[in-house]
Amino acid sequence: MFKKLLLVLITLIILLPHNLLANDVMNDIKCMCRDEWPDNYRMQKYCIDRQINSYDDVVCKYVKKYFVPYQKSNGNTYYRDVPEEGKIIFRCYDEWTDKKGRKNWRMIKYCCDKQFKAFNSLKNY
């Protein structure tokens, strides 16, 4: 079930213009930073800025690269078999999504960066 929801999210990230998706993502980021820093507005802003930058990095560096949609003649969007790199992204999303469904984009980026570095270094063995 989680993977289906994640594929829907990935489809939205790839297919919708950035500003249409940004409202939902931005609301989650603001709520998470507000919860983390309830009385410190400077830290809320810092948190929001870092989350936005990390979100953009995850989308550009990983999601758009490893999840390439294609459309069948019936108009439905599908993905080719999810590569191992896509599974890394799934695991990082899962690990850094809180109980309210909000994603910690900074930690997702950190997780993906570390996992991809290790994954790519294993190719040299």
Domain ranges across the chain: 2-16+37-122
pLDDT digits (tens, 9 = 90+) for 71-94: 566 666 555 666 788 889 989 999
- How far is residue 4 CA from its own chain's centroid? 14
pTM equals 0.74
Mean pLDDT throughout 8-25? 57
pLDDT digits (tens, 9 = 90+) for 21-36: 468 889 999 999 999 9
**How many C-beta atoms lie closer than 10 Å to residue 115's C-beta?**
17
Mean pLDDT throughout 4-13? 55
Query: Count of alpha carbons within 13 Å of 73, Cβ hemisphere only?
Result: 0
